[in-house]
Amino acid sequence: MAQVSMTVNGKPASGDIEGRTLLVDFLRDGLGLTGTHVGCDTSQCGACVVHVDGKAIKACTVFAAECEGSSVTTIEGIAAEDGTMSKVQDAFQTHHGLQCGFCTPGMVMSAEALLQENPTPSEAEIREYLEGNICRCTGYHNIVKAILAASGQDVSKIAAE
Do the domains 2-77 and 87-154 sit in the same CATH topology, yes or no?
no
Q: pLDDT tens digit string along 67-103? A: 999 999 999 999 999 999 999 999 999 999 999 999 9
Q: What are phi and psi of 6, to 5 degrees?
A: -155, 175
Q: What are the structural domain ranges in the chain?
A: 2-77, 87-154
The CATH architecture that domain 87-154 belongs to is Orthogonal Bundle (1.10)
Q: Give the rounded percent of residues in the chain with a pLDDT score beyond 70.
A: 98
Stated pTM of the model: 0.94
Q: Are 106 and 133 in contact (CB under 8 A)?
A: yes
The CATH architecture that domain 2-77 belongs to is Roll (3.10)
